[in-house]
Copies of this chain bind each other. A is one copy, B any other.
Amino acid sequence: MDLPTRDPIPPGTLDMLILKTLSRSEESHGFEIAESIHRASGSVLRVEEGSLYPALQRMLVKGWIIGEWGRTADNRRARYYRLTPAGRKQLETEVEAYRRVSEAIGLILQPG
């Protein structure tokens, strides 16, 4: 029983989580982003690669992030992503909507 605690990413929140993760690091490559989300969530959430990379592609196309090929510390190829101003704006929008809906659900779940 050493499987790590782990829930799937709720549909609709992945972009927000990636954007938020990028917002607090100068730049990151894919694996770093996934690890970062896992760690920052207290090991509750894990992004699968099959979700992560398509999401990064979509966000590149939308102009929310830019990506540049580079080298990791141990000299491997990796694509480094960073937020654009549009991405920062999008993050704000998504967090706002997330909080609104979250509070609404909280109201419904209240005991009573």
A residues lining the B interface (CB < 8 Å): 7, 10-13, 16-17, 20-21, 24, 37, 40-42, 44-45, 95, 97-98, 100-105, 107-109, 112
Contact = CB atoms under 8 A, between A and B. Distances in A.
A104 B98 CA distance: 14
Contact of A17 (B41, B95, B108, B112): B108
A20 B109 contact: yes
A49 B20 CA distance: 34
Instruction: Pick the 6 closest A-B CB pairs, nearest first.
Output: A44-B104, A41-B104, A11-B11, A40-B108, A7-B101, A45-B104
Contact of A12 (B11, B98, B103): B11
A7 B100 contact: yes
Contacts of A40: 107-108
Given A10-B12, A11-B11, A95 B109 contact: yes
